[in-house]
A and B are shown apart, each in its own frame.
Chain A
């Protein structure tokens, strides 16, 4: 009698890799239990492929459902989910899809699918209560460079090599132009959303760099430095004021353990 861990290893190989030979001899089920394993293999595949199709409707519109299905089938075999919340599964799919056979004719596919993934993420977010702007006005300017901000959950930043936000807007408007010439051009896109709504904001490179750095946990000083590297005319004060005015900031903390709020 094989140990449970060995049985589950064989079962896993049957479900994900289709290698049902090693586990079949210990099973009961119909005249040929090995055939019944196809039910579990199909449950795995159907559930995950359907989940990916639901997350990438615009990508299906762009390249056709058959190509997405085929890529999804390969993806779930090579990248099984790492957690039971399937709604979180698929972040790596845009990159995988862009490397599949048939995708090479669309060099903007990765950016487009990535943008769609981010839209899906922000649309299910909820806004937290923003920090009161009045509190910022009382802050000591000397401490600001060391401050880190927490931004709303429904914010993502994508630096695309193609203007894919325009393509996504066409999909959303259910518009198919007679002819569309897409030329490579950097796009710095802010994806903002909450509670089922979203919008795509085109930013300049410096503002994008600043906001992305802040969202990733850099101090305001670090974020400003990188934005200034991108554009020497960048104004950090204005950029911070815009974040506050847009109600993007939900928490403020010092680099050290003490809370910025405590000093206000």
Chain B
């Protein structure tokens, strides 16, 4: 089995695929969206080639564990097929929904945090894990709206999901920064409450501030993955490392892609931050 890397990885997008194959730059690991490769046999072939040189993580965007209807079993089987070929170190997805009946809404949509949602998401994660034959990692979302009738907060919801399914968590630090700004909560408190024992991976990605039409005169931050990682994300990342210790970390950049070396520099910076922090895994530090 491929060892879990300590060096930060990068999200691999199709635009960088040929260059990665040709140059094999130093990178801890690569994370892909399987939806981009399942429909592209040529890209999948190159990915299999890369998997001989890099640990690969599979980050799904289309499984939709939060859909009120059933999950797409055909899609899930295709992901299993790809996973069998590249032997990923992680398979992850989102605490969100993206399909309504047979329509795919091409976005990660929010869920109310209620007992009904818990039961549904837990059942779907069970099905995913049974099909994949491995633990699934669930990522905390970037939020622009939440639901008035939620009966628990996000961290408690995630902790309960872990308890019911045995899944692991992907802590997206930048999503915490974005959601905290948009929904008005303390990002450090969120990290403090996060079920740290289940974290298997962390994400960092860029966001884009824009005028908030919902609250004129203020900004809403959009999780675009179209920019360099913001200082506030780096700061919260350092805080998270201090709280929870080192975790495999990945740089996500999906839109307005930089050059591959620029992307790798972001990963190198994450490594620099991690090295500078005295690790006390499992011990909380004062905020």
Contact = CB atoms under 8 A, between A and B. Distances in A.
A60 interface: no
Given A1-B114, A28-B145, A88-B39, A82 B102 contact: yes
A32 B148 CA distance: 13
Contacts of A153: 41
A26 B68 contact: no
Interface in B101-153: 102-107, 109, 111-112, 114, 116-117, 120, 143-149
B212 A15 contact: no
Interface of B: 35-36, 38-43, 45, 61-64, 67-69, 72, 74-75, 97-100, 102-107, 109, 111-112, 114, 116-117, 120, 143-149, 182-183, 212-215, 218, 220, 222
A12 interface: yes
Contacts of A87: 35-36, 39-40
Contacts of B117: 4
Which of A35, A38, A39, A124 lies at the interface centre, i.e. has the most chain B CB atoms within 10 A of its CB?
A39
Nearest to B60: A84
11 contacts: A3-B116, A7-B68, A8-B100, A39-B220, A40-B107, A44-B106, A47-B107, A83-B62, A125-B42, A126-B42, A126-B45
A29 B109 contact: no
A36 interface: yes
A124 B103 contact: no
Given A28-B146, A124-B42, A33 B214 contact: yes
Contacts of B218: 30
A5 B64 CA distance: 14
Most buried by A among B62, B72, B109: B109
Contacts of B64: 84
A26 B150 CA distance: 10
Given A26-B147, A26-B148, A35-B213, 13 more contacts: A4-B114, A4-B117, A12-B103, A28-B183, A30-B214, A39-B222, A44-B105, A80-B104, A83-B104, A84-B63, A84-B99, A86-B106, A124-B42
User: Secondary structure at chain A's binding surface: helix, strand, loop or mixed?
Assistant: helix
A188 to B, nearest CB: 26
B42 A196 contact: yes
A236 to B, nearest CB: 31
Contacts of A28: 145-148, 183
Contacts of A118: none
A4 B106 contact: no
Contact of A43 (B106, B120, B146): B106
Interface size class of A (residues with CB under 8 A): 35 or more
Interface of A: 1, 3-5, 7-9, 11-12, 15-16, 26-40, 43-44, 47-48, 80-88, 123-126, 153, 194-196
A31 B183 CA distance: 11
* Most chain A Cβ neighbours within 10 Å, of B43, B106, B116, B220: B106
A15 B146 contact: no
A58 B112 CA distance: 44
B215 A32 contact: yes
B78 to A, nearest CB: 8
Nearest to A40: B107
Nearest to B61: A84
A11 B75 CA distance: 23
Nearest to A123: B42
B62 A85 contact: yes
Contacts of A43: 106-107
B214 A84 contact: no
Given A12-B100, A84-B75, A153-B41, A1 B149 contact: yes
A11 B98 CA distance: 10
A30 B211 CA distance: 12
A68 B104 CA distance: 22
Contacts of A15: 105, 107, 109
Contacts of A3: 68, 116
What are the nearest 5 A-B pairs in CB distance? A84-B62, A30-B214, A87-B39, A29-B145, A5-B68
A124 B183 contact: no
B150 to A, nearest CB: 9
Contact of A47 (B106, B147, B214): B106
Given A4-B68, A4-B117, A16-B103, A36 B144 contact: yes
A7 B112 contact: yes
A250 to B, nearest CB: 13
Contacts of B220: 30, 36, 39
